[in-house]
Copies of this chain bind each other. A is one copy, B any other.
Amino acid sequence: MINTLLLPELREMIANGDDDGLREFASALHPARAAEFMEGLSAHEAWQVLRASDAAKQAEIFGFLPDAVQVEIVETVAPRETSPLVADLPADDRVDLISDVHPDVAEEVIPLLPAAERRETLQLLEFPEGTAGSVMTTEVARLDASLTVHEALEEIARQSQDLETVYYNYIVDDENRLQGLISARQLVTHFGKSDTPIADLMQRDVVSVKATDDQETVAAKVANFDFIAIPVVDDQHHLLGIITHDDIIDVLREEATEDAHMAAAVDPLDDSYLATHWFTLAWKRGMWLGILFFAALLTALALQKYETDFQRVSWLVLFIPLVISSGGNSGSQSATLVITAMTNGDVTLSDWWRVVKRELLMGICLGGMLAAAGYVCAIWMLNDYRPDGSNVVEMFEQPSSVDMLVVPITLVAVVICGTLCGGMLPMLFRWLGLDPALMSNPFVAGIIDIAGIVIYMNVAVLMLETLESSG
């Protein structure tokens, strides 16, 4: 969402070297809004705007610039100038940025960070992407259980400069083990009785996550509990950091986008659609298109096997796309329903039998509906069917209404096959420890395509032979 309202003015001020004007622009607006207005600028221009302001403002606005612009600024401006901005970022964003810039630049920037930030950055870089550790920040208020409400507020005010949030504050023992939680809400509510010990107010059964937990699981936990933040601990329950609501929202959006891409057979992108290099995009799409192509090739081989049948009963060809797409559509409906239900925590592996029953019923019901429609259409289309080529060997001059039962029978079978495969494949993936969203839809489509052809032809051969021998 590029807001181009102030772009001409900004560009003019940059061209004229009007640093006072630029400083005023930066100080008058919420940093997020200033960053929004700057989105149309190149990284070089954005840096001209930033450098006009004081260090604190620079850092605030820099934090709201899109990732790609941050990366470009750090890669093109002297590390000596950008390292204060990088140091000032919340630890989680700083680590993301440093992982994204060219390794050579990262190597120059890291030594320029203040000792505490440097240590923290190197420590967080250790956590693999996608884990709770990789999205957490270490800047969390740690309080001693012996404080009163008044003392706690004073202590938080003192620490607040370095904190990502003051809303959830954690009570730890001498060895940094998590003991309890006191929210700013509880502190503010007890503002009138400010000599109350926080030990009397703190919540002891604190919901936490492990640093190695999957970020998707963490996001689901925070969303279910309506938390603003969740503490991250190690195996010995030492407090390592917290993950805040804004990171959770980022994780949820990222995962939703990834799931959508995987469902459409695109390998998840690291950047946005327009920011991704076309070659990367071609690779991430082409790879899966190629795999699906070879799956589709199997349908060609299956068809080849039945080719003589097609020549004998040429009208069968007409319904190939209809059969395949009905199976594919009902299968992808089932797969998507089960994947989203698992993502939202509504369906677990233990529900598998309920899913089977549901999808079987659905397959019979939807397949029956399509079969009825298909039969009517087949009769209508083939009513005065007489292929042109009069010297073509035909089993039938015109298919009888009994012959045409091939179409509805196949449709019921293919749709049931689609709903069952679609419902079960994502659960099978989860059971194998894989992400259920991983290619389930294209997989289902591939399986159904081949199954559709095989079912169609077997039903046709069986029925028509039976009729032939009995006729």
Contact = CB atoms under 8 A, between A and B. Distances in A.
Contacts of A354: 274
A325 B362 contact: no
A261 interface: yes
Contacts of A260: 256, 259-260, 263, 336, 339-340
Interface string A256-281: 11011101111001001111001001
A429 interface: no
Interface residues of A, number: 132
Nearest to A336: B264
Nearest to A338: B273
A377 B297 contact: yes
B184 A29 contact: no
Given A223-B250, A286-B366, A351-B274, A318 B314 contact: no
A333 interface: yes
A1 interface: yes
Contacts of A387: 307-308, 311
Interface stretch (A74-82, A123-131, A389-397, A462-470): A389-397
A371 to B, nearest CB: 10
B184 A278 contact: no
A293 B370 CA distance: 7
A347 B1 CA distance: 7
A106 interface: no
A153 B188 contact: yes
A2 B348 contact: yes
Interface in A368-415: 369-370, 373-374, 377, 381, 387-389, 391-393
A289 B370 contact: yes
Interface of A: 1-2, 28-30, 32-33, 36, 153-154, 156-157, 160-161, 165-167, 184-185, 187-192, 203, 205, 207, 220, 222-226, 228, 245-246, 248-250, 252-253, 256-257, 259-261, 263-266, 269, 272-275, 278, 281-282, 285-286, 288-290, 292-293, 296-297, 299-301, 303-304, 307-308, 310-312, 314-315, 317-322, 324-326, 329-330, 332-333, 335-341, 343-348, 350-351, 354-355, 358, 361-362, 365-366, 369-370, 373-374, 377, 381, 387-389, 391-393, 441-442, 445, 449, 453
Given A30-B205, A281-B358, A303-B320, 16 more contacts: A1-B348, A28-B205, A245-B249, A264-B337, A273-B346, A274-B351, A285-B333, A286-B366, A289-B366, A296-B326, A304-B381, A307-B387, A310-B317, A311-B387, A320-B320, A391-B393
